[in-house]
Structure 1
């Protein structure tokens, strides 16, 4: 497997990434919470982009995959800074493809850097999950434990997640569903009906809340949070192709 390249963020974090050249608008994949850029969706999208001659970038947030840092030390704002540093590697405007937490990061990038965004595809996007899913779902005992520094949550994907007090408190500085959210470019939201990590109600809330001229939500019956079956991957490719076709093309 090809070794990644590395960038160093202004904060001194070392971020692993794979970037392939091609025409614009390019595509940037933003992964989920405690995931990495070697997942099936990231690799599928890279292959798809290469077949299309489309520029593509995938990367690991700090504390994830091959990047520097400890996952437990990170928070939404850190990972947003990592994504901003990765976005700075690209030229022209980009289509962001955000999976789960990556959907939240994509929305934050769109809010901060609208001039760099040509479109957005959300895959089981999880905006504000630290507040609306984690904190809201904690028992009083878990909240008391968190006040001491951290709490462990069971995971369907392996070892328990260690959730820190900083993750919850810092996440409150980056909520996107409490104020107007303008998305003035093509947006496609994909959501599985059988997703128990980020249920369809989250997608519907985002769909209702976001403001923009071309926002569509597709609900896939029976799909779970991984959203990585052949049919789901095909739906991602179709949504991305639709966004790219509708996005303004770079000047020649």
Structure 2
């Protein structure tokens, strides 16, 4: 969202009152952000995953299998997530939960080729879920953090997932953009969203999700404030749902907070028990 803030500043300097936010301002693959993996994930039991997509893009990721695991978690990271940079931290956080863990770089990020859009990120996520669900029938849960929470919610809407975890989530793209603009800019700026971004609405998507759901958020999260995560939670129709506010956690450290495991692991062991 730093790009959005920059545009806001430029808009003020130019005397403009409207900024237009496109997909490329929110979805920041390596070619735009200059980011790239710093290392190669090397952990015991890692199996390489590779999915060829119809348009020629190749998705690459890893599957960490745990002996005796009854559930497989498909994890979708936030923007700029690279499994080679942060995958070990996700694995460490989920290790006590005794689950298999699958992580795949979004197209255009890290190991995966191609150019990401809102539409093909959802299609890629569905294809990845279908692959894992064939391998572990009816035993795949999806977990999404920040940007990944929108992806995970779309999968849960369109597939029968074993469970859904939404971490550091928010309502829609407009709220996400508005939340990145300092209050002192807001009187001078109107935000115009690209049509594909206008269509993003997590509260609408989750209103169609019946799967057991755990919503995780930090009380110190300034990027996706807890009040917006609570709106997503309230939109869930499932009787099996829980909202966890982690004290002292910000936007990117909810999963690593020791207090989170106390709710996450029991949920992953038996989502229907919420």
Shorter-chain TM-score category?
A: 0.7 to 0.9
Contact 2:74 2:101 in 1 (8 A): yes
Kept in 2: contact 1:186–1:215 (CA 8 A): yes
What's the secondary structure of 1:205's corresponding residue?
helix
Unaligned runs of 5+ in 2: 1-39, 43-47
CA distance in 2, matches of 1:228, 1:176: 20
Q: Deviations over 1:56-90 (max 9, x none)?
A: 200111122221134xxx32222111211221221
Match of 1:133 in 2: 176
Deviation at 1:51, TM superposition (A): 6.3
Q: Which residue of 2 aligns with 1:151?
A: none
Which is further off, 51-60 or 210-219?
51-60
Q: How high is the TM-score relative to the length of structure 1? A: 0.73
Whether 2:187 is the aligned partner of 1:177: answer no
Match of 1:193 among 219, 226, 238: 219
Gap runs ≥5 in structure 1: 147-164
CA contact 1:120–1:243 (8 Å) conserved in 2: no
Distance 1:182 1:238 in 2: 27
Q: CA deviation at 1:237?
A: 3.0
Aligned to 2:202, what secondary structure does the other structure show? coil
Task: Report the counterpart of residue 69 of structure 1 in structure 2.
Answer: 114
- Number of residue pairs matched? 218
For residues 220 and 181 of structure 1, the distance between their equivalents in structure 2, rounded to whole angstroms, comes to 24
Match of 2:51 in 1: 7
Over aligned residue pairs, what C-alpha RMSD do you find?
Answer: 3.0
Question: Residue 87 of structure 1 aligns with which residue?
Answer: 129
Which SS does the other structure have where 2:197 is aligned? Answer: helix
Any idea what SS the aligned residue of 1:238 has?
A: helix
CA displacement, residues 82-122 of structure 1 (integer Å, 9 cap, x when unaligned): 21122122122312111101111111101011x2x111122
Which residue is 1:58 aligned to? 103
CA offsets 1:3-38 (integer angstroms, 9 cap, x no match): 854211233321110012343321111111232223
Q: Distance in 2 between matches of 1:185 and 1:82?
A: 21
How far apart are the structure 2 equivalents of 1:135 and 1:11? 34
Give the TM-score normalised by structure 2.
0.68
Q: 1:45 to 1:215 in 2, by over 3 A?
A: same
* Pair member with larger Rg: 2
1:31 counterpart = 2:83: no
